[in-house]
Amino acid sequence: MSEFVRHERLGETHVLCIANPPVNTLRTEVRAGLAAGIAAAAGARAVLIIGEGRGFSAGAEMTEFGKGRVPPSLTEVFDMIATFPGLVVAAIHGNALGGGLELALACHARVASPGASLGLPEVKRGFVPGAGGTQRLPRLIGAEAAMDIIVTGEPVRAEKALALGFIDAVLEGPLEDAALVWTRNALTVGAKFTLAAERTDRIAGQDMAAFDAKAATLLKRARGQASPRGCVEAVRAAVTLPFEEGLAKERALFAELVAGEQSRALRHIFFGEREVLRVPGMPADTAPLPVNRAVVIGAGTMGGGIAMSFANFGVPVTVVERDAGALEKGLARCRANWERTVTSGRLSQADYESRAKLLTGSTDMSVVAEADLVIEAIYEDMDAKKTVFAELDRLARPGVVLASNTSTLDIDAIASVTRRPELVVGMHFFSPANVMRLLEIVRAKASSHVAIATAMALGKRIGKLAVVVGNCDGFVGNRMTGKRSPQVEKLLQEGCLPQDIDRVMEAYGMAMGPLATGDLAGLDIGAAVRRARGTTAPIADALVAAGRFGQKTSAGWYRYDEKRTRIPDPEVERIILDTAEKLQIRRRTIDDQEIIERLMLPMVNEGARILEEHIAARAIDIDVIFVNGFGWPAWRGGPMFWADQLGLATVRDRLAHYAQTTNSPDLKPAALIETLASEGGRFSPAMG
Ligand code: NAD
């Protein structure tokens, strides 16, 4: 009797219950338990496979990857199912994902609870389903419908799975009982179930032109990513090859992709997003304070977006503005934003109304007394923030966390004007705050574990990925990208045009190049930061002086038409050439590799300093920040992952090279890079 698969005989049916909490991954002991259970059920008329706890199975145990396979493999378990003389039924509740769904697909029949979620998310980890999913699913529902599921990795609900035809029934009530009744009934009526492997009716006569058209549509969004292409090829094999050959093709694609850099990157981020939730030094039993009502101070760009995030996730929120005019403007912007979502069909009218009801406004600060947590999002000015925090401290109940959304200011200084510095933290959202998933939670000197835990729990509740960072100018993300800007300016002076730089970074996989991003954020903001820091950037400053603030003035690094299409602008080229001439710089051709290195290496160097200063707990925290807040493609793994792939000795040498050739003392390799390079070390542990 296996500890991980419980075996129960109920008359003619044997029940095998996967019990590997919390999500029933198919670790070695589970596979062995299933094999033993099926063997022990010899002679039974039916076997019912079900999951204990939250769901059926979330799939393969990712920590077993790269460690060499221990038998039995899933395929061996599936072969036992295929040769089992009776009926094998999978009963699914919660999640059946990846290998979990493949197990169900290998059974004779599948039943599920309403709302159960079925999917093959392997593509998101950088590989293809490797246990027959790409061969069996098309045989059950047709190649084009299967591609939708396999290439996107998006799960479907039981009801949709039933309509598509890869489950046989949706059963109300307690699943095990309902599935037993269903199975007995199937036996009684002598229902016939054909294994997916033996079916050809859904794939016979597939129109390959339609297949290619469907594949092209799905791959359009995948750009440089390898696994979606692999998924298409695997499904193609299901249509063009006999089952066993298709399986072999799937296995070969799996082996190739899983060993590749993109899959390593995706798994690095997948584990990283779980790792960042473990905050070093925070006792495991730290309980967050309950937050049932939030107050946001300021209904500008950020305050409005933050307030929407609360309402979107069912948390009542009040925004406070200075006067009725500013308040109405802020609330109207939130409403308009929701209305656009309704118009585009992504939000129902009823949901819009219930969200809008949760968002209220006031010009009276005293509403802060009702808050369980306050987030300040007024403009970036230390004196103004201090005035507001002194007042918040006076008005908010004792024990309530006070957070600032500042991008650059010192949280310790803000906390110092309160009598509760232990409850003051930064909650740094990214614009647009109702859309961007990243939330940097800034731990100041006095911030308590409870305050940090409260901010993290709240972040999670409103759909954010919260990463705890230390208190410094720019925190992690902006501090690192800030080090890229001087190199952008220098590249423009030395030979690049904005479109060259953006093209290279977008070809690398970034959602948007740095100059297009600047246009979106507003070039005046960067100029204000430079003024405050006493630095200059001749070309960028000249653009701002010419009134080119970016998209909001329809002109920045590019010109913009009514549809906000960016158009390279000869006027910008003229400004660039004039400035270079004034600075007596002889422009040259700069290759793509140099562009990549000069934009990435300064960020990596600053990332290393951030680690030295414990502003970020781990390199993975930095990578997770870039993937969730800066449009870095997950399949590239983030800047620190990039550096590890390059090798830190190379990183050190290239930094030293550019420090000298571009006269940038800042690019002198950080001490941590020197140390790791000399030891043959890495920022993050190597992944199998
Ligand atoms: P904004 O100018 O759009 O909004 C600020 C709002 O605060 C204005 O509506 C103003 O009327 C209001 N306000 C000012 N003083 C107030 C007071 N005493 N009481 C109530 N309301 C008051 O600014 P923003 O872009 O939303 O930025 C707000 C904060 O968020 C800043 O600290 C900024 O650094 C930070 N931030 C901005 C971004 C961004 O991309 N814009 C991103 C992250 C963080």
Closest CA to 244 of 75, 399, 360, 113: 75
Q: How far is the C-alpha of 320 from the C-alpha of 299, rounded, in Å?
A: 7
Which pLDDT score is estimated for 64? 85
Q: How far is the C-alpha of 102 from the C-alpha of 555, rounded, in Å?
A: 52
How, if at all, do strands 13-18 and 5-10 pair?
antiparallel
Q: How far is the C-alpha of 119 from the C-alpha of 130, rounded, in Å?
A: 14
Number of neighbours of residue 559 by Cβ within 10 angstroms: 17
Which pLDDT score is estimated for 688? 66
Q: How far is the C-alpha of 641 from the C-alpha of 375, rounded, in Å?
A: 33
CATH architecture of 496-582: Orthogonal Bundle (1.10)
Q: What is residue 8's DSSP assignment?
A: E
Q: How far is the C-alpha of 213 from the C-alpha of 17, rounded, in Å?
A: 42
Please calculate the CA angle 29-37-187 and round it to the nearest 5 degrees: 140
How far is ligand 1, taken at its centre, from the CA of residue 303, in Å? 6
Which pLDDT score is estimated for 180? 97
Active-site residue, 176 included: no
Which pLDDT score is estimated for 308? 98
CB of 97 sitting under 6 A from ligand 1: no
Q: Which residues pair with 117 in a beta bridge?
A: 95, 157
Residues of the chain scoring pLDDT < 70: 1, 688
For residue 219, give the amino acid letter: L
Tens digits of residue pLDDT in 264-303: 999 999 999 999 999 999 999 999 999 999 999 999 999 9
* Residue of 3, 64, 102, 562 with catalytic role: 102
CB of 377 sitting under 6 A from ligand 1: yes
Q: What is residue 670's DSSP assignment?
A: P
Q: How far is the C-alpha of 61 from the C-alpha of 250, rounded, in Å?
A: 19
Q: How far is the C-alpha of 539 from the C-alpha of 264, rounded, in Å?
A: 39
CATH architecture of 593-679: Orthogonal Bundle (1.10)
User: Under CATH, which number does the domain 5-259 receive?
Assistant: 3.90.226.10
For residue 362, give the amino acid letter: S
- Rounded alpha-carbon distances, angstroms, from residue 107 to 55, 132, 194: 17, 12, 9
CB of 510 sitting under 6 A from ligand 1: no
Which pLDDT score is estimated for 1? 63
Q: How far is the C-alpha of 444 from the C-alpha of 223, rounded, in Å?
A: 40
Q: How far is the C-alpha of 343 from the C-alpha of 355, rounded, in Å?
A: 16
Active-site residue, 102 included: yes
Query: Which residues, other chains included, contact 252 with Cβ-Cβ below 8 Å and sequence gap of 6+?
Result: none
Which pLDDT score is estimated for 622? 98
Q: How far is the C-alpha of 110 from the C-alpha of 395, rounded, in Å?
A: 58
Asked whether the domain spanning 593-679 has the same topology as the one spanning 294-472, the reply is no
Q: What is residue 169's DSSP assignment?
A: E
Name the strand (E) or helix (H) holding 192: none
Which pLDDT score is estimated for 625? 98
Could you state, in order of their start, the residue ranges of all structural domains in the chain?
5-259, 294-472, 496-582, 593-679
CA quadruple 528, 531, 537, 543: dihedral sign = positive
Ligand 1 pocket test: pick from 365, 379, 436 the residue with the most ligand atoms within 8 Å of its Cβ: 379
Q: How far is the C-alpha of 296 from the C-alpha of 370, rounded, in Å?
A: 12
With tokens 């072999």, the residue in question is: 248
Task: Note every long-range contact of 221-224, with CB atoms under 8 Å and residues 24 or more positions apart, other chains counting.
Answer: 222/151, 223/509, 223/633, 224/507, 224/508, 224/509, 224/633, 224/635
**Cα 335 → chain centroid:** 27
Omega cis (within 30) before 486: no
CB of 414 sitting under 6 A from ligand 1: no
pTM of the model: 0.93
Which ligand 1 atom minimizes the distance to the CA of 431?
Answer: 40
Ligand 1 pocket test: pick from 301, 368, 402 the residue with the most ligand atoms within 8 Å of its Cβ: 301
CB of 309 sitting under 6 A from ligand 1: no
Q: What is residue 446's DSSP assignment?
A: T
Cβ atoms of residues 6 and 16 within 8 Å: yes
Q: Which residues pair with 119 in a beta bridge?
A: 97
User: Under CATH, which number does the domain 294-472 receive?
Assistant: 3.40.50.720
Query: Which residues, other chains included, contact 374 with Cβ-Cβ below 8 Å and sequence gap of 6+?
Result: 294, 295, 296, 297, 368, 392, 396, 400, 401, 402, 403
Task: Give me the phi and psi of 349, to 5 degrees please.
Answer: -60, -40
Please calculate the CA angle 379-544-306 and round it to the nearest 5 degrees: 30
Tens digits of residue pLDDT in 546-605: 999 999 999 999 999 999 999 999 999 999 999 999 999 999 999 999 999 999 999 999
Token output for 175? 């699943």
Closest CA to 380 of 405, 416, 417, 349: 405
